[in-house]
């Protein structure tokens, strides 16, 4: 799946839990496209790992955090999406969104 606005960076903790972070700062006319990409990513995770969302540190496979803010003195919006998961989730996420290992 191709993403035009969300460009994920990857990090991993010492226990092997991975985190993919993406941030997009866009003009109002681009916001719907960013929301559509977020929905695409979350729909994939919910389908591929159905019923396994929750705090990863409590034994779940994956979780996410989504934030949106308005920039001061501009009409731009910033959307941040963080996806955390087990090694299996992270491998599947990389494959689904053609991300480097």
pLDDT digits (tens, 9 = 90+) for 72-99: 899 999 999 999 999 999 999 999 999 9
Kindly tell me if the per-residue pLDDT of 10 is higher than 90: yes
What are the extents of the domains in the chain?
Answer: 9-96
CATH architecture of residue range(s) 9-96? 2-Layer Sandwich (3.30)
Neighbours of 10 (CB within 10 A): 15
> What backbone torsions phi and psi does residue 11 show, to the nearest 5 degrees?
-140, 165
> What pLDDT is stored for residue 1 in this prediction?
78
- What predicted TM-score, i.e. pTM, was given to this entire model? 0.93
4 pLDDT band, cuts 50/70/90, is: very high
Q: Among candidates 26, 50, 54, which has minimal Cα distance to 38?
A: 26
pLDDT digits (tens, 9 = 90+) for 32-66: 999 999 999 999 999 999 999 999 989 999 999 99
């Amino acid at each position: 799946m191709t993403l035009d606005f969300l460009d994920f960076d990857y990090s991993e903790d010492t226990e092997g839990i991975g985190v993919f972070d993406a941030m997009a700062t866009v003009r109002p006319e681009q916001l719907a496209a960013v929301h559509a990409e977020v929905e695409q990513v979350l729909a994939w995770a919910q389908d591929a790992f159905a019923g396994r969302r929750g705090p990863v540190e409590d034994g779940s496979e994956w979780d996410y955090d989504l934030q949106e803010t308005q920039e001061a003195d501009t009409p731009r919006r910033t959307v941040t999406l963080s996806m955390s998961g087990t090694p299996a989730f992270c491998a599947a996420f990389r494959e689904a969104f053609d991300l480097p290992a």
